[in-house]
A = this chain, B = another copy of it.
Amino acid sequence: MKQGNVLVAQGGGPTAVINQSLVGAVLEARKFPQVNRVYGALHGVAGIIAEDFLDLTQETTHNLELVAGTPGSALGSTRDKPNEAYCANILKVLIAHDIRYFLYIGGNDSSDTLRIVQTFAQKESYELITVHIPKTIDNDLMVNDHTPGFPSAAKFVASAFAGVNLDNRALPGIYVGVVMGRHAGFLTAASALGRKCRDDGPHLIYLPERNFLIEQFLSDVQSVYNRLGRCVIAVSEGIHDENGTLIATKLPGEVEHDAHGNVQLSGTGALADLLTNTIKTKLGIKRVRGDTFGYLQRSFLGVVSNIDQREAREVGEKACQFALWNDASGTITIHRIGDYSVEYRLDPLEAVAGKTKVMPDEFISEEGTDITPAFRAYLAPLLGNSMPEVFRLRAPVVPKKLG
């Protein structure tokens, strides 16, 4: 129950609900008598180094509630990966501003950042409580049933494929949609939740949990096209060949890496174009279109799951409660305890830091190009209560007179 200040920051890629977690933490922190001030660092750890803080104790509750409903990271974010020197500077700033509780909202890269800072603080014998608040549309954090941000992005992807399937039914051909998710296929698999009737797309789903073999891909596409006269395909940006080499890195041109050593996969349509050109050339099909969903799937205004909003708010609140009631450091994790209900626990940072969860085999069909009913049962409740439904004409056919 150390008297001092609370610092909240946001790291990594923004989501539709990351501000819910921010506001959950801030509103809760403002209630505790041992808290003098609640600060927000601009642009994550980079803003800590620069001492770029907002005093969120002086923000109106009303505006905080409005910001909670706004996508993106309201405090700004960063891709910086702190090394030892960087951590030493962070600690100097925390001490200078009497920060005793540091809450960092982010994915597995951000939790790793927090783990390093915490280790460094202990070395310096500075009393500091650090709690990691989970966030990532990739849904790739260990221990967690799922992660805040993923359900809303999944709703975007499912809605996009539901619409694209109708478009492709109207003007038949081949459609390839490239989805985010890095090394985890959860977000790409969410495309299947846009299906309703048996012949709805996506008809093929390529996940990074399986090897991507171009000859098998072409054969799969030809087979669906022969059967339906069209084919809608969902492809993860993280697909790789049997040697683990990313298909995206086989493209001509330079490959960009971020500070964490990750290959830059988004922000280009090159993978979709490679696949559509291959289909055109090798299969001789004329109408072949490719889209890369890009930044829309994590930032689109107005597409959000109400379950995701609720849980993102609660992980922020819980982080604050563990830190301020219990003086406990760690990472907040989400556990499914019913159908559908969750509870939140505090786990050691090491349980999630720098690790990646991928889709379990039970969620992937035997041939590797579809999901299972188990995955549908897992994802369906997360999409919330406002997923739109599509309908078809079912009128009888008129007998021909001439033909």
Shortest A16–chain B CB gap in Å is 8
- Which residue among A13, A78, A388 has the maximum number of chain B CB atoms within 10 Å of its CB? A388
B301 touches A388 (CB 8 A): yes
CA separation between A160 and B290, bound complex, in Å? 19
Taking CB as reference atom, which chain B residue is nearest A92? B402
Instruction: Give 20 A-B pairs besides A72-B163, A78-B171, A269-B270 with Cβ atoms closer than 8 angstroms.
Output: A37-B398, A51-B402, A53-B398, A55-B398, A59-B395, A69-B388, A70-B390, A71-B163, A77-B170, A77-B171, A93-B401, A96-B402, A97-B401, A159-B301, A267-B276, A267-B290, A268-B289, A289-B295, A301-B388, A302-B387
The copy count of this chain in the complex is: 2
**Contacting residue for A267 out of B54, B266, B289, CB 8 A:** B289
A67 touches B393 (CB 8 A): yes
A166 touches B276 (CB 8 A): no
A272 in the interface (beta carbon within 8 A): yes
CA separation between A272 and B40, bound complex, in Å? 35
B391 touches A10 (CB 8 A): no
A76 touches B268 (CB 8 A): no
Shortest A33–chain B CB gap in Å is 21
B59 touches A393 (CB 8 A): yes
A194 in the interface (beta carbon within 8 A): yes
**Contacting residue for A67 out of B273, B294, B391, B402, CB 8 A:** B391
**Contacting residue for A51 out of B13, B77, B266, B403, CB 8 A:** B403
A394 in the interface (beta carbon within 8 A): yes
Shortest A271–chain B CB gap in Å is 9
Shortest A67–chain B CB gap in Å is 5
A375 in the interface (beta carbon within 8 A): no
Q: Indicate the size class of the contact surface on chain A.
A: 35 or more
* Given contact pairs A398-B53, A398-B55, A301 touches B170 in the complex (Cβ within 8 A): no
A212 in the interface (beta carbon within 8 A): no
Q: Which residues in B have their C-beta under 8 angstroms from that of A391? A: 63, 66-67, 69-70
A346 in the interface (beta carbon within 8 A): no
- Which residue among A75, A93, A269 has the maximum number of chain B CB atoms within 10 Å of its CB? A269
CA separation between A277 and B77, bound complex, in Å? 24
A13 touches B171 (CB 8 A): yes
Q: Which residues in B have their C-beta under 8 angstroms from that of A175? A: 295
A10 touches B302 (CB 8 A): no
Proximity string of chain A (162-206) to chain B, C-beta cutoff 8 Å, 1 when within and 0 when not: 111011011100010000000000000000001000000000000
CA separation between A397 and B74, bound complex, in Å? 14
* Given contact pairs A14-B171, A290-B269, A295 touches B67 in the complex (Cβ within 8 A): no
Shortest A50–chain B CB gap in Å is 7
